[in-house]
Structure 1
Amino acid sequence: MTAVSGLGPEPRLRRGRAALALSFFAQGAVFALLVTRIPAIQDRYGISDALLPAFLAAVPVLAGVGSVATEHLVKRVRPGLVLRCVQPVVCLALVAVGAGSGLAQVAVALAVFGLTVGALDASMNMLGVSLQRAYGRSIMLGFHAAYSLGGIVGASLAWVGAHWELPLAVLYGPAAAVAVPAVLIAGRWYVDQERRPAGAAGAATATLSMRLLLPLCLVMAFAYIGDSTVSNWSAKYLQDVLGSSEQLATVPYNVYMVTTLLGRSVGDLGVRRFGPVAVVRAGAVVAAAGFAVVAVAPGAWPGMAGFTLLGLGLCVIVPQTFAAAGRQAYEAHGAARGPEASDAAVARLNIFNYVGFLVGSPLVGAVGDAWSYRGAMLIPMALVLVTLVYAPSFGGGRARYGGGHERPRTADVGRGSNGL
C-alpha cells in the first residue's frame, strides 16, 4: 500500500504519469500518420476500391482480437510490460506499411498493426485507470488529451508528406526512429499495481459481470460511431451537402481534433469539480447539439460550428467510460482482486471502441444513400443522446473528485513494470 502525500503524488507516480502521457501522444501520432495517408497507401500498392474496405475493416477487427488477448495476457504479466513490448511493434508496423513491396506485405503489416494496436490501447488505458486510482483524482482525460495532441502532430506531418510528395517510407521511417526510442525510455517509468498470483487473477476475471459493463459498452460504441462519422464523412458532407470548396471541406476534421484536445485538456478539472456523471451528461448534450446543427446547417460555416460542438462534446465521453469501467470492476471485487478485475473490464470495454468504428461509417453511408445525409446525421445524434440514460453508470459512492468529494489519496500501487 503506497500512501500519497496530501501535498501531492509521490515522484514515482508523477514520473509514471508523464511516461504514460508520452505513450498516448506517440500512439495518437502514429495512428494519424496511418489513417490520413490511406489514399497514398492505396495508390502505392494498387489496392482497388472494392478491396480497400476489407483492408480497412480488418484493422479494427484484429485490434479487437488483440484487446481480448490482452485481457488474458495481463493475468500473467503486468500491463506496463505489455505496453513496453507492443508499442515499438506498432511503430515498426507503420514503417512496414510504407516500405512494403507488394499486396501481401502490406496485408501482413496492417494485420500486425491491428493486433498490436488493440493490445496497446487496452494496456495504455489499464495503466491510465490504475494511475487515476492512485492519484485519487481525475487525470484520465489528460492522457487522452495527449493522444489528441499526437493526432494533430501526426496529421500535420502527413500533410507535409503529401505536400512535398514524400514516399511513405521517407515519412514513416523518421517518425518511428523518434518514437521507438522515446517509448522504450518512457516504459522504464510505467507504474503498475500490485496484483495477486495468476490463479487469483483468473478468479477475479471469471466473475466479472458483463451486465455491469453493458451500459458502458454501449456508450463506448455510440461515442465511436459519432467519432467515425466526423472522421469519415465531415469533408464529404461539407462539400457535397453544404456546398463548400474542396479546400474548406478539409477544415472540419482539423477543427474537431483541436476542440477535442481543448475539451480534454480542461475536462479533468470539470470532473473534479462536478463529478463524472455531470460531465458525461454535458458532453452528450453538447455532442447531440453539434449533430443537430450539422443536420440543419444552411451553409458551410454553420456546419463547421456544429463540428466544433461535436469535438467539445464527444471528447469527454470515452476517457470517462474507461475510468468508470475500471472503477466499478475494482470496487465490485475489493482491493485484493480489484486490479485484475479493473484490467479485464478495460480490455472488454476497449473492444466496443472498434465496434463503433466499424459500424459508424457504413451506417451513416447507408442511411445517406437511402434517405439523405442530413437525415443520416440524426442517427449518431440519437445514439449519443442514449448516453443520458446510462449516465448514472458513471457514478457511484466514490466516483466524485475534488470540491470536498476527493477520495483519500491512498492507493494499492506496486513497482514499475521495469521491476518485472
Structure 2
Amino acid sequence: MTETLRRGRASLAFGFSVQGVTFALLVTRIPALQDQYGISDGLLPVFLAAVPILAGVGSVCTERLVRKVPPSRVLRWSQPVVLLSLLGAGAGDAMWEIAVALGMFGLAVGALDASMNMLGVSLQRAYGRSIMLGFHAAYSLGGIVGASLAWAGAHWDLSLLVSYLPVVVVLLPAALVGSRWYVDAGGGEPGGAAHAAGRGREGDAQPVKAGAGGGATLGATVSFKVLLPLCLVMTCAYIGDSTVSNWSAKYLQDVLGSSEQLATVPYNVYMVMNLVGRGAGDLGVRRFGAVAVVRGGAVVGAVGFGVVAVAPGAWVGILGFMLLGIGLSVIVPQTFAAAGRRAFECHGPGASDAAVARLNVFNYVGFLIGSPLVGGLGDAWNYRGAMVVPMVLVLVTLLYARSFAPEPDRYGDGHERPRTTDVGRGSNGL
C-alpha cells in the first residue's frame, strides 16, 4: 500500500474525528443555546428540524457539485464552515444570529457528511478491504471527546463562546493542514483524481483508471431503485440512533426511575460501544463478510431495544443501550460502503459519489422521523411500547441484508455492466 494512501487514510480519519467533536459540542449544549438566545420550547423544535433539513439540501447540492470538483475540495472547505458556524452559534445573542449560524451549519454539515463518506468509500475500494468502519470509529471517538468537552464547559459554567473558541482555534487549522493529504477516487494524487480499485475480495483490489475531475465519470448516476433498500436501512438505523440520543435520558429517569445523574450514562455507554463495535467491525467484515456483520448488528440492536423495553430497572436498561451501541454501530458505515460499491460496479466512480450523496439524505430523514415518532408514541401510549417500534424497524435490515453483498459479474448474458476498465472475473467484494 503506497504512502499516499496511508496518509490519505489518516487525514480522512482525522477529518471524521473533527466532525464528531464539532457535532457533539453543538447537540450536547442545546439547552445552553436555548437559554442564551431565549428560544421558547415551542420554537426550539423548528430550529432543531431546520438543521437536518438544510443538511439534506447540502447533501443533494454536493451530489451535483462533485461532478465538477473533487470531493476532497468540498470536504476541505466545508469543514471550516462547520467549525466557524459552531463558533458563530456560541458568539451571538440575537435570534437572527442563531438562525444564520444553524442554517450555515446545516448546509455545510450536509456537504461535509456526503464528501467525507465519498472519500471513505473510494479509499476502501483502493485498499481492497474493509476500512470504512474505522473512519466512523474515529467519528465516535470525536463524539466522546466533544461530549466530554461540553460536560466540562457546563460543569465550570463557561459561556458557549469560551467553550467553543479554543476548540475551533485548534481544530480549524489542523483540519486545513490535514486536508492536504486527502485522496480522491480511491487512491491517487492527494486532492485529485487518479485510480479507483477494481472489484476484488478484501485485500485483492486491482487498480483501474478512473475518469477526470474528482475521480468521477461526469454525469454518472445510479438508479434510485438500486439504492432503495439501502435508503430504507439507513433511515431505520438513524431512527434507532436518534431514539437513543433524544430519549435515553428521559426513559431512564421517568420510566426506570433512575437519578438525574445516572440518566446521563446511557448515551455515553452507547457512544463508547459504538466506538468498540466500529473499531472491531472492519476485522469482522474481512473475516465473515458484510452481509453477516450487518445481520448480526441488526439482531444485536433489536435485542438491545427489547432489553430496554422490558428492563425492570436502570442498570438493565443501560445494558440494553450498550447492546444498541454495538449493534447499530456497524450498519451505517456498511450501508455507505454498499451503496458506493453497487454504483461503482454499475457505472464507475462518478456514480459512487452520487450514490453516497443521495444515501446521505436518508441519514437526516431517519433523524427527523425518529425523535417525534418515539416521543409521540410515548406520550400517546407509553415509552416501553414506543421502544418496540425502532426495534421492529431495525429488524427491517434483515430483509435487505443481501443488498450488502457484492453482485457477481454477468458476462455473456447480454447484461454486462459498463465499467471504466474491465479487470476480468475475479473474487468479489470491496
With structure 1 as the length reference, what TM-score do the two structures score?
Answer: 0.91
1:129-186 alpha-carbon deviations (Å, 9 max, x no partner): 0000000000000000000000000000000000000000001111001110111011
The answer to whether the 8 A contact 1:137-1:407 is kept is no
Displacement of 1:196 after TM fit?
3.0
- Indicate yes or no: 2:180 matched with 1:188: yes
- SS at 2:158 equivalent: coil
CA–CA separation in structure 2 for the residues paired with 1:99 and 1:288: 41
Q: What residue is the counterpart of 2:225 in the other structure?
A: 211
- Asked if 1:94 corresponds to 2:86, the answer is yes
1:69–1:119 contact (8 Å) kept in structure 2: yes
Amino acid at match of 1:352: F
**Is the CA contact (8 Å cut-off) linking 2:68 and 2:218 kept in structure 1?**
no
* Separation in 2, partners of 1:33, 1:347: 24
Alignment correspondent of 1:4: none
1:80-91 paired onto structure 2 within 5 Å? 80-91=72-83
1:386-401 correspondence to structure 2 within 5 Å = 386-397=396-407
* Aligned 1:74-153 pairs, distance under 5 A: 74-153=66-145
The equivalent residue for 1:222 is 236
Q: Give the equivalent residue in structure 2 for 1:65.
A: 57
Identity of aligned residues (%): 72
Residue by residue, what CA displacement relative to the aligned partner does 1:370-401 show, whole Å, maximum 9, x if unpaired?
Answer: 111000000000000010000000002479xx
Aligned to 2:378: 368
8 Å Cα contact 2:82-2:105 kept in structure 1:
yes
- The TM-score normalised by the length of structure 2 is 0.89
From the superposition, tell whether residues 11 and 395 of structure 1 become closer, same or farther in structure 2 (CA, over 3 Å).
same
CA distance in 2, matches of 1:139, 1:308: 23
Higher relative contact order (CA 8 A, sep 6+): 1
Secondary structure at the aligned position of 2:59 is classed as helix
Task: Please give the per-residue CA displacement for 1:283-325, whole angstroms capped at 9, x wherever unaligned.
Answer: 0000000000000001101100000000000000000000000
Please, which of 263, 287, 301 is the counterpart of residue 249 of structure 1? 263
Q: Distance in 1 between matches of 2:408 and 2:312?
A: 45
Are 2:219 and 2:350, in contact at CA under 8 Å, matched by a contact in 1? Answer: no
Determine if contact 1:136/1:406 at 8 Å carries over to the other structure.
no
More helix by share: 1
Distance 1:408 1:263, change over 3 A: closer
Q: Deviations over 1:163-216 (max 9, x none)?
A: 000000001111001110111011000001235357x844412xx100000000
Cα distance in 1 for partners of 2:243, 2:181 equals 36
Give the distance between the partners of 2:232 and 2:78, measured in 1 at CA.
27
Corresponding residue of 2:5: 13
How many correspondences in the alignment?
A: 390
Return the match for 1:30 from 6, 11, 22: 22
Paired residue for 1:359? 369
1:292 aligns to 2:306 (yes or no): yes
Measure the CA separation in 1 of the matches of 2:408 and 2:261.
Answer: 48
- In the TM superposition, residue 100 of structure 1 has moved relative to its aligned partner by 1.0
Where do 1:313-392 residues align within 5 Å? 313-333=327-347, 338-392=348-402
In structure 1, list runs of 5 or more residues that go unmatched. Answer: 1-8, 400-404, 410-420
Query: What is residue 274 of structure 1 aligned with on the other side?
Result: 288
> Hey, what's the Cα distance between the residues in 1 that align with 2:240 and 2:319?
16
Residue in 2 that maps onto 1:170: 162
Structure 2 counterpart of 1:164, which letter? Answer: W
- Does the aligned pair in 1 maintain the 2:237–2:394 contact within 8 Å? yes
2:53–2:364 CA contact under 8 A, matched in 1 = yes
Q: Gaps (5+ residues) in structure 2?
A: 186-192, 194-209, 410-425
3-state SS in 2 of match to 1:246: coil
Cα distance between partner residues in 2 of 1:255 and 1:398: 40
Residue deviations 1:55-102 (CA, integer Å, cap 9, x gap): 000000000000000000000000000000110110010000000130
The DSSP-based 3-state class of the residue aligned with 1:386 is: helix
Give the alignment of 1:291-310 within 5 angstroms: 291-310=305-324
Distance of 1:271 and 1:124 partners within structure 2: 21
User: 1:381/1:408 Cα in 2 relative to 1: closer, same or farther (>3 Å)?
Assistant: closer
